Structure formats: C-alpha cells, structure tokens
Amino acid sequence: MAHGRIRAKIKRSSLYTFGCIRPPVDSPDEPHQFRGPGFSRHVCCNQPNLHQKKPLKYCKNYISTTKYNAITFLPKALFEQFRRVANVYFLFAAFLSLTPVSPFSAYSMIAPLTFVIGLSMAKEAVENWHRFMQDMKVNMRKVRVHNGEGVFSLKPWMNIRVGDVVKVEKDQFFPADLLLLSSSYEDGICYVETMNLDGETNLKVKRSLESTLSLDDDSAFKDFSGTIKCEDPNPSLYTFVGNFEYQRQVYPLDPSQILLRDSKLRNTGHVYGVVIFSGHDSKVMQNATKSPSKRSTIERKMDKIIYVLFTLLVLISLISSTGFAIKTKTQMPSWWYLRAPDDEGLYDPTNAALSGFYHLITALILYGYLIPISLYVSIELVKVLQALFINQDLNMYDEETGTPAQARTSNLNEELGMVDTILSDKTGTLTCNQMDFLKCSIAGILYGVRSSEVELAAANQMAMDFEGQDGHFTRSGGQNGPEIELEAVPVSKESFGVPIKGFSFEDNRLMNGNWAREANPDVMLLFFRILALCHTAIPEYNEETDSYSYEAESPDEGAFLVAAREFGFEFCRRTQSSIFVRERNQSSQEYVEREFKLLNLLDFTSKRKRMSVIIQDETGEILLLCKGADSIIFDRLSKNGRMFEEATTKHLNDYGEAGLRTLALGYKKLEESEYISWNEEFMKAKTSIGGERDAMLERVSDMMERDLILVGATAVEDKLQPGVPQCIDKLAQAGLKIWVLTGDKMETAINIGFACSLLRQGMKQICISTNVDMLNQDSKKAVKENIKLQLTNAMQMIKVERDPHAAFALIIDGKTLTYALEEDLKHEFLKLAVGCASVICCRVSPKQKALVSRLVKEGSGKTTLAIGDGANDVGMIQEADIGIGISGVEGMQAVMASDFAIAQFRFLERLLVVHGHWCYKRIAQMICYFFYKNIAFGLTLFYFEAFTGFSGQSVYDDWYMLLFNVVLTSLPVIALGVFEQDVSSEICLQFPALYQQGPKNLFFDWYRIFGWMGNGLYCSLIVFFLNIIIFYDQAFRSGGQTADMTVLGTAMFTCVIYAVNCQIALTMSHFTWIQHFLITFSIFAWYVFLILYGMLPPELSGNAYKIFLEALAPAPLFWLTTLLVTVACNLPYLAHIAFQRSFNPMDHHVIQEIKYYKKDVEDRHMWTRERSKARQETKIGFTARVDAKIRHLKQMLQKKSSVLSPRVALAAART
C-alpha cells in the first residue's frame, strides 16, 4: 500500500457476506428506543468543553493502576502495616512504655517500631512510584485531536475529553472508546486488531455510518456537530446501543461502529472518531478491577503463629503476675527494705490484685522478645534482595526486546514456590500467531518430509528406549526371530536457503513445478488453486522484497497463501468481483496472471467450520472451492467424490498425532443454470432484514456446499512462542495444573491446546456447551438444567474410566460459563475441572476470566497464578494470588496490573521452578529460625524472673537486648533468606518434582513450625539451667569471686549468641564466603561490643564495666560453659538431621548426596534414572504426548510381531 492517505478503489465491505452487508437503502434501520436508567449518556460531538461541568461532566482520559495516591498513601499504607498482628502488639507496647509500669525506656520501644514501619512504608512507596511511572507512559502517548477550525494537533492521551474528535493513524492504539466517523477507505471500512481485548489476532472489520462518509479530511470537521445518546459505561465488550443525531436525522448505532480503547488500527491509513467513553469509563477499564492488596500464604500463616506466641506471652505473663501478686501479699510485708507500698502503687501488700495487674502489663512488655519485631523488616529486606536477583537473572532476559524480568512487588516472592494452578491467556502469551505450512495430502498421496516437533521428540525417545533394552526389540531386529524393523519415523532435514516465514514444507516432488509430473496433476492444480483463491485476505506489495505479504483474518489463511505462492500460485490482487493469481507456466516457467471472477464468498464461522468461494475461471467454468474441518467436509462428499477418502483419513490421523492443525479441501463443478437459481435464493437471504437473516444465509449456503469432491488435506504447525511446549511440559512435570482462558473461538483454542500439548490424540474431550437455539427459546432454568446434566454426565464418565492412561480435557465456551459460574453450579463445574487433566475456556470475557480465577482460588483453597499480556487479562491477573504480565509485546496494561513481569511465557519455568522454589524455602526456613531464636532468648527472661521471685527483673543489660535482633543475629538470617540453595538452578530444572515441596508446604506446616518452637524451648532450658547450675554458689574466677547477675546474664547471652549462630550454620545447605563471614562476624561483633561497652565509664556501662576483660575472659569456666552449652543446644538437631538423611531422606537430600559424591558423573544411568523419577506423573505436556506416541508405536510393533511370528514358525516347519 502507498504511504500517506489511502483512497482504496475497492469497497472492502463487499468481501464479507455475513457480517458487514448493508441493507438496502430503501429500508433504513429504525433508531433505538430506550429510556430509563442505564441509557443516560449524552455526548456533544466536537464540543468537549460542554463535558467539563455538570450535568454532562464525565471522567477524564487519565488512567491509574496504582495501589496508592498522594492522599490515600498514608492511611492505606498504615492500614497495610497494622494488618500484621505483631505490629499491633508492638504499637500497644509502645503506648504502655510511656507509663511507669514499663521495664524499658519509651524510646527503646518506640524507635524500633517507627524504624520497622517506616522502612516497610518506604518500600511500598517505591513500588507504587514504579507503577505510577508506567501509567504515565500510557497517559503520555500522543494522538491527533481536533482543536477547531479544521486543525488537528498532537495531544497526550490523558488530555483527551469526551466529545473530542480524534484522528488515529495506522498501527496506533485507540486512546478511548470512539464512534467511527470515517476512514481512509471510501466506504468507511477500517480494520481493527483486538488482541489486547479479546485475545483474537484476526482483523475485525468496522464500518462507519454512510451519513458521515463525507467527513473524510481534517477541514471537514471545522463545523461538524452532532449528538450521541447511548448506554452508560459498562464492561460488555461485544455490545453497544445508542443513537446518533446528525443533520436532523437519527441513526442507530451498534458495535460495528465502535472502536474500543487499546485495540489497534491495522491495514488502514487513518480513521476519524469521536470520543464516547474516556478513561475509566471505557469498556476495557470497566473490565479492570481495583489494584488488590495481596498477602502471601506464608504471611497469613505467620499471623497465626504470632497468635500462638501471643497466647504463650499472655500465659507466662499471667503466671508471672499471679506469682508476683502472691509474693506481694504473703512475703513483701517482711521485706522491709522495699518500703512497701511504693509511692506509685506498683506494689502494695494491701492490694495485691492491683499490684498483680500492674505487673501483668510489665510482664507483657518484658517478654515481648518472644514476638520478634525485627522479623517483618528482615523479611522485607530479604524480599527486596530476592526481587533484585530475579530482576538481574540473565536467564530471564529477552535479548530480542531487551526486556528483563521484573518483580513489581516483592511481597509475593515465596508465593511463586507454592503455585498449584496456572491460568493462562492464549494469544500473545502462548502463541506468537504464526503458522507454518508443513505437510499436505493430495489425491491420497502424502507430501512433506519435514517432521513436527512431536514426531522428532517421539523418535528420539524411541531410539533411547530401544537401544537401552537388550532383551527387547532393537532398530534392526527382534529377539529370537528374524529382523523386525520399526516403522520409520521421519527425521527433519536442514532447510537450505533463506527460511520463509509461514512455510516449512520440504518435498521436491511439489517444488519448482515438479508437481506436474505426479500421478494426478489436475487434482494438484485444483489443490493449489483452492489455497490461492479460498480466502478473504488482502495482498500488500513489498517493493523491497518484490513479493506480496498478506493481511489475513487468521494465521492459517496467511500460511496457505504463502504456501500457494511458493508452489507457483501467487495471489497478487483482488477487486470487488475478481481475484488475480500469478501462476507459473509449466513449460516456460514464466508467471502468467490469471483472473478468476469472484461470484460469492461464504465466510467461515465457528458454527459452519468451513469456508467456500464460488469462482468462474477464464474458460467460463464455475467452481465451488471449499476448505474446512475434515469431519464437516467428509460429511458433504458425493458418492463419486470419495476416491481418496480412506488414504486422506489415515494421513489426517497421522497429522493429528504429530500435533498439526488440519483442514480438508474439496470442490464442486456447477452448471450455470444451477448457479443462477441458487444465487437468487442467496441474494434474497443476504438482503433480508430481521433476526432470521443469518439462519436463512446458513440454510442457503448449506444447500450449495453438498456433493463435494475431495481433493486433499493440509497440515500446518502452530508456531508457539519459543520454548512454550517445553515450559508447559516442565511445569506439568512439576505437578502444576494449567488452564487456558481465551477470548478466541473454540476451534482455535483447541488447536492451540494441541500445539502446546495441553491436548493430544487419544485424550477424551468433554465439551460443555449451550446450543444457541436453546438460549433463544428455552428459559434460563431449562438451560441451567441442561448444563447441570452435562456436568453430571461428565463426572460420571470420569468415575467409571478404568484405563490408567486415560486423560480428560474440559472445554467450555463463554456463554455456558456464564451459567456454570453461578452459585448453584460453580462448585460442580470446579469439581469436574479439577478432575480433568487440562481445562480450556474459550470465548470468555475479561470479567469471566476474573471470575474463573476467583472460583479456582477460593474453591480449591490452593495458590493460583494468572498470566497474560493484554488489557483483557487485567481482571484475571489482579484476582489471582499471583499475577504475571507478559512485557515485550504490544500493550502494557497487563504488566501494569501484575505482580511480576516477564518478556515471554517460557521464562515462567525458571521464575517458578527455580526462583519460586528457592524463595519459598528461604522465607519458610528464615521465619522458622526467627521464632526459634526469639523463643530461645525470650524464655530465659521468664525463667530468671521466676527464679528471682517474679520481680520483673531482666537478667540482661538493656543494650544486650536491643542489639540481639538488630546486629548480633540479624545478618546470618538475612544471608539465609537471600543466598540459601538446597540445590542449584540446573538441578531445579532437571528435577522439577522438587517444586512440589512448596504446594505441599513441607517446610512451613505446623509440624515443622512447632518442631522449631520446641527446639527453641529446649535451647532456652539448656542455656538457663546449665548456666545457673555452673555459676550458682561457686567461684568462677581464680580469686574466688562468685558470679553476680551481670556475669550470669553476660555468660547466658554469650551462650545464646553461639547457639543460635551455630544452629543457622547447621540449617544452611549452600555456603559462600558471605555466609561464613556473617556468622563469624556476628559472634566476633559480640566480643567487640563487650570490650568497647566495658571500657565506657561506670556511669554509662553500669555493672558491665570491664566485664569481659577483667571478669569473663580470664575465667576458663566461662569458655568451657560456652562450649558445653553450645554443643548441648545443637546436638539434638544434629542427631535429627543425621537420622532423617540416613533413614527418611527428602528428595533434595538424595540429590545433594549424589552431587557431593559426584555420582552424577560416575554413574550416568543412575543419574538419568533418578531424573526420570523426579517428575510428577502427568497427562499433559510434551512428555505425556511423547509417551502416548511411544505407546502407539509399541502397539503397532507388537501387532507386526504377532503377524510375523506365525510366518516364522511356518518357515521353520518347512525347512
């Protein structure tokens, strides 16, 4: 096409029979009659200023997907922080620290809380700022807007207002929902790609009203005005009702005149449109939901652990306060030196109950170390660092687009390791919308030697299986008998020359005109002409390559046209009534342009599953050329047209097993009188008005598409995004369930399911659907009863299945899903879906995607992940536990709403199986260890207080307690959370079953949590009682001095530091110099602090003056006690892990041992065997498909063997 303004000579609408035919001029449509709520929108065209004030004030075109704004940040962020139970407790404790009952100074309670809350809020602010900046990239896109006087100038999207007239040029996105006024084509047609809205890649045809066709250049809008009255903003993408008042006439509006925001103008120079819905009123934004506040499963469970610890805290505080009250009443009167009661009334023998209550508050603050305040801030820091590693992972960097992975929120890192179900969009997520013509069957003969991916994988696996089994069949012979050759599996050959997009066919029998020397050249000629003529594509000449490219409604059509071109039948142009094809002359090899008159075009629909054209060639012969699903074409064959049916059927089955998409091709010769008679009926149906028009067209078309003669079949390979089948296969081996939710047609969705191995030959498909006639005629109750019956029958079919290899796939369309998601049916639907190996929901709206996501999340109670690339996926992404946006493709709405962004679907494998697995185990072990060390430390305070008469006295210096979580034990646990690896990334990918440790929650279940708490309890008892026994009533220094409270507290604290740091060293599986340094540093820092603190004047250091240098360091008893207590504290855990690894090892223990002893190098067979074990049994994915292919080949081999065996016996008897 020429650059700049396009004035097409063809009225493109004449190419479309069912969708875009205008009714006769003498039968104008009546305007819509609507009143009442839901239809109050009033748009004054070309007068945007009228919509800036009431009653016509509508929202701006500015959009925001952020979680906070400048006004809501403080209250919402504080709410987020105090949703955490521990923070509520510490806020309560901070208030109490201002009272005399506090055992600590106020700043020591308020400062840590402020630091923790402030740091977490700062992280939220930074992440929200990144979302805001991505929003602004969209808001600042430019489009031409009418400024008055017929002048259009560039404006940002965010400044567009309702009523503005905008000019959108080719390959630009529509900035708002527009009414199409005119286009660069004379008849107001434009082509729109709606991939971001409904996932479909085929181009939609939109047409303007005939009354606005004269508005065909900028100056025409100088005095333009009109009024639109229509429906209010709503999320329905496929409906629109309104009237357009223009030049004293009222015209009805329907969806064919509406251009939706985020769809794209294609194959059209420009369009003019007036803004109807802007910003969050647009249909795509109506389908979006507010940014949700997501919390991970571990974080929610952590709240329950806090409840347990808080219960323990209250319990020991009650014990302490009760003990204090009893001591106050019975013994305090004799303790004259206390001078009871005190001035503040904290202890009064005459009112022991009140004294006990005051002491309860003191104890609640004193034992607060049971609940670690630094836990949250440490987790926040660890998650930020984990997110940094995700962002910097070069294995998830897309070189083609220069796009890295991006963790847009770090709150959900560990949730990546707990996913049970993946809900995926199709278009742009799984597919790259490219078909390759690979094989064909013509006149019952198979052509095409290149193998599909499924065939190659099956051949390789079969070779491995048969070469590795000495007692069974080999490639060349069988056991105890003559040679039994395996059925040949084709091997792909390298393509010579430049690869051709859409054409991977290899077979010299058809190339370069060689087809003319085949057995049936006349049939072959028809085959190639069907490819070149039976379509609705538009050719575009490329001067640089001196060839044609094609704008086709589907990728299949594009592949067929490329194939026809390569075979010597190049579709070059079309007019309203003719199609021109350049055919290669067989004798001279020169190209000759032939004209075929296009008499009728019977378009493809999901119900018809076929497409036909009626053409007249240069000899005057009239032919009907048809292509469609094999089942449809075969049912319409004439008796004498079935000559090649048996061979073609076999080829189609082979293509299906190879994972290819197939169509059958047929034709029919027509007599002129027969055609004229039929055409009269067809034109009557075509120009009729009313609800019966489509049914009449279908009936008349069906009359013609009978008595066909079979020509052959095509096989195209659906080009998925790189690595998609392998990624799905690995995720399936990891035990993940995969659902596909797409706005595409059922046939397309099924084909994609086959291409990415979610479906395969032999898998039983359960199609839950609702007949259109039923929807029109029956009541809602009857429709629901029908759907319920289908669900029940399907469940029964699954229950009675006895074949262990049987697999079921559930396929459901959007209309049926509307009923299946209602309250009384949704649980039955979910139960059926869970029982199937794969689930495909097609023709679903964005809202339905979100509802399905919510149903799976809430109904199963498992973690769900949604992944998509377009605006139609935003609701699903936000509703799921984890939302993944595909960046690097057109449109950024999905990315802006997501929690994580990746450039291609294949990176999901590494994000989950590697980073998800690591993050889950790191966070789980980190939290368990945190509770362990705080229980080990905090309970020693309780023991000492009980030992000292429930006095409220702390055995540790205040500075010891402040430094415990901040410096002395914080760095190793952060290293655990950031660097820990049970196995390397390569091993994670080789042993995908390791991922199931997350969904099964093996490292953060209550058994493990209470185990760590019990370990902390044991450690606290050892630390306290061994120190009391050793230091009580005996000298510990050479001078005979006994230990005072400061010496005892310092010795106990030293034992705690050693015990917890040695414990984390035993917990780690992966050591780098960083872990070694931080653990050593934490212990060394304690001694440095003791020395420096002890050197301070007594006014500052108190009883700790020179405590280490003069009192503890010279005493051998101190060092021996530290060693004894450390060993005693860690010995049970060491025994536990030794027993577990020896007698009940987990999967990663086995792998660690294999790697440590290098058995993976020394014994490759054992390593391969272990790898084959380390995958979840699955019925989807490439591996399951190859296994099914192998079973099929083995069955064929057994049949051959059984046929040959009698012959061998007979030959032996004769000899």
Active site residues: 425
Q: Strand pairing of 808-813 and 764-768?
A: parallel
Tokens of 1077: 């340094």
Taking CB atoms within 8 Å and a gap of at least 24, the contacts of 782-787 are 783/819, 784/819, 784/822, 784/824, 784/825, 787/816, 787/819, 787/820, 787/825
User: Which DSSP letter does residue 291 get?
Assistant: P
Asked if 838 and 810 touch (Cβ cutoff 8 Å), the reply is: yes
Helix (H) or strand (E) holding 525: helix 521-533
- Report the C-alpha gap between 968 and 1085 in whole angstroms: 7
Tell whether omega for the bond before 341 is within 30 degrees of 0, i.e. cis.
yes
- Given strand 41-45, what is the order of strands in its sheet? 41-45, 226-230, 242-246, 249-253
Q: Which residues contact 704 (CB under 8 A, 6 or more apart)?
A: 602, 612, 614, 624, 678, 682
Q: Strand pairing of 737-741 and 709-720?
A: unpaired
Report the SS3 class of residue 610. strand
Q: Write down the H helix ranges in 1102-1181.
A: 1116-1143, 1147-1156, 1159-1162, 1164-1173
- Report the C-alpha gap between 750 and 468 in whole angstroms: 36
Helix (H) or strand (E) holding 624: strand 622-628
DSSP string, 1044-1099: -HHHHHHHHHHHHHHHHHHHHHHH-S---HHHHHHHHHHHHHHHHHHHHHHHS-HH
DSSP string, 73-131: HHHHHHHHHTTSHHHHHHHHHHHHTTSTT-SS-SHHHHHHHHHHHHHHHHHHHHHHHHH
First and final CA of the chain: distance in angstroms?
78
Pick the closest to residue 569 from 551, 541, 545, 594 (CA basis): 594
Helix (H) or strand (E) holding 937: helix 917-947
Strand partners, 616: 597, 622
CA 491: distance to chain centroid?
A: 34
Handedness of CA 982, 987, 989, 992 (dihedral sign): negative
Tokens of 968: 């002395």
Pick the closest to residue 164 from 156, 763, 63 (CA basis): 156
CB atoms near residue 728 (< 10 Å): 28
Asked if 274 and 46 touch (Cβ cutoff 8 Å), the reply is: yes
- Report the C-alpha gap between 895 and 891 in whole angstroms: 8
Taking every pair of Cα atoms in the chain, the longest distance, rounded to a whole number of angstroms, is: 128
